[in-house]
Amino acid sequence: MSDFTLETAKAWMSEYARVLDEKKEYLTELDSPIGDADHGTNMARGMKAAIEPANLDQPDLGSLFKKVGLALVSKVGGTSGPLYGTFFMRAGKEAGETTALDGAALSKALHAGLQGVLDRGKAELEDKTMVDAMTPALAAFDKAIGAADLAAASAAAAEAAKTGAEATTPMLAKKGRASYLGERSIGHQDPGATSTEYLFESLAASLA
């Protein structure tokens, strides 16, 4: 089984920045009825900064994800910046000074990232947030890594993230701006869960 390497991580971050730029209007559209119509521009701006050479040219996975996280915290603004920033900083701390992770170690790093989002945002499952895409994505990844290679496991994670993002539509938002709308938040897909879908689709693309 091939490992997740520093090169894979750089390709992942570059692909995520590319996809966010491509989908920024759509993400902002999702953030209009249940937010303030800035999620796409926020995330595209943040990842554009994150993949600047000063951030991407790092000697190990720990430093790379830490730099990406710091860039997101400082450039995104809004709720999602600190949350995605924490995701990457915690994942980097778990990964440490290494240039390759096997499936189990990558899973550990991603779980540390998710735990950071939970610690910081205090969202629970079905609160209609990015957590509703991240949690099933990691469950699918963990289920697949025993039997499949990293490419197949990350493809399974991406599929589960997409299903998770779509499942936010009928949910009543309990966190973030969308929660201010109460019942009126029902019937709209969550923008943050959708950008998390793209995060895992980008990971799968970088490993394919």
Tell the smallest beta-carbon distance from residue 208 to ligand ADP (Å).
Answer: 26
For residue 193, the partner it binds in ligand ADP, Mg ion, none, with Cβ less than 5 to 8 A by kind, is ligand ADP
Q: 101 exposed, middle or buried (CB, 10 Å; 0-12, 13-18, 19+)?
A: buried
For residue 190, the partner it binds in Mg ion, ligand ADP, none, with Cβ less than 5 to 8 A by kind, is ligand ADP
Q: Is 123 in the site for ligand ADP (CB under 6 A)?
A: yes
Q: Is 135 in the site for ligand ADP (CB under 6 A)?
A: no
Sign of CA dihedral 115, 117, 120, 124: negative
Contact string 46-75 vs ligand ADP (x = CB under 6 A): ------------------------------
* Interatomic CA distance for residues 64 and 50, integer angstroms: 9
For 75, residues 6+ apart whose C-beta sits below 8 A from its C-beta are 45, 46, 49, 50, 81
Q: Is 36 in the site for Mg ion (CB under 5 A)?
A: yes
Identity of residue 5: T
Q: Is 191 in the site for ligand ADP (CB under 6 A)?
A: yes
Q: Is 80 in the site for ligand ADP (CB under 6 A)?
A: yes
* Residues 158/166, Cβ–Cβ less than 8 Å: no
Count of H-run helices and E-run strands, the chain? 9, 2
Judged by the rule CB under 6 A, the positions of this chain that interact with ligand ADP are: 31, 35-36, 38-39, 42, 78-80, 83, 117, 121-123, 129-131, 175-177, 190-193
